[in-house]
Amino acid sequence: MFTSSFGWGGLERNLAVMAQWMLKADHRVKLGAPAGSPLHRHAGEWGVEVSTVQSPKQLSQFVQGQDVLWIRDPRDMRVAAAISRRHRIPLVMQQAMQISTPKFKWWHKRRFGQVHAWVTGLDWLKEQALHHTPLTPEVCHVIPLPLDPRWFQPPLNSDQQSERRKELGLPTEAWMVGTIGRLDPGKGQALLLESLTQLPDHVHALFVGSNTVDNGQDEQQRLAHWAATHGVEHRVHWRSETADPMPYYDILDAFAMTSTSETIGTVTLEAMARCLPIVGTRAGGTIQLLDEGRGLPFASRDSRALTSALKRVLEMPAADRQDMVQRAHQWALKCHPDHVIPAWNRVLDIVVGEGRTA
pLDDT digits (tens, 9 = 90+) for 184-243: 999 999 999 999 999 999 999 999 999 987 778 899 999 999 999 999 999 999 999 998
Least confident of 43-47, 118-122, 314-318: 43-47
Burial zone of 42 (CB within 10 Å; 0-12 exposed, 13-18 middle, 19+ buried): middle
pTM equals 0.91
Average pLDDT rounded to a whole number, residues 100-106: 95
Cβ(23)–Cβ(48) below 8 Å:
yes
Answer yes or no: is pLDDT of 354 > 70: no
Q: Please compute the mean of the pLDDT values over residues 123-141 and round it to a whole number.
A: 96
State how far the Cα of 276 lies from the Cα of 126, in Å rounded to an integer.
27
pLDDT for residue 269: 96
Using left for φ > 0, alpha for ψ between -120 and 50, and beta otherwise, residue 68 falls in beta
CB 43 within 8 A of CB 16: yes
Q: What is the pLDDT of residues 236-256, one digit of tens each?
A: 999 999 989 999 999 999 999
- From the list 154, 202, 209, the residue with the least C-alpha distance to 180 is 209
* Equal fold, 3-146+336-357 vs 149-335: yes
Give residue 13's pLDDT band: very low, low, confident or very high (50, 70, 90): low
- For the domain 149-335, what is the CATH code? 3.40.50.2000
Task: Provide CB contacts within 8 A for 157, sequence distance 6+.
Answer: none
H or E, element range at 116 = strand 115-120
State the pLDDT at residue 251. Answer: 98
Name the average pLDDT for the chain.
Answer: 91
Average pLDDT over residues 167-195: 96
Residue 39 scores a pLDDT above 80? no
Q: What is the CATH number of domain 3-146+336-357?
A: 3.40.50.2000
Question: DSSP readout, 154-188?
Answer: PPP-HHHHHHHHHHTT--SSSEEEEEES-B-GGGT
Domain boundaries, the chain: 3-146+336-357, 149-335
As a whole number, mean pLDDT of residues 150-171 equals 96
Tell me the DSSP string of 230-267: TT-GGGEEEE---S--HHHHTT-SEEEE--S--SS-HH
pLDDT value of residue 12: 59
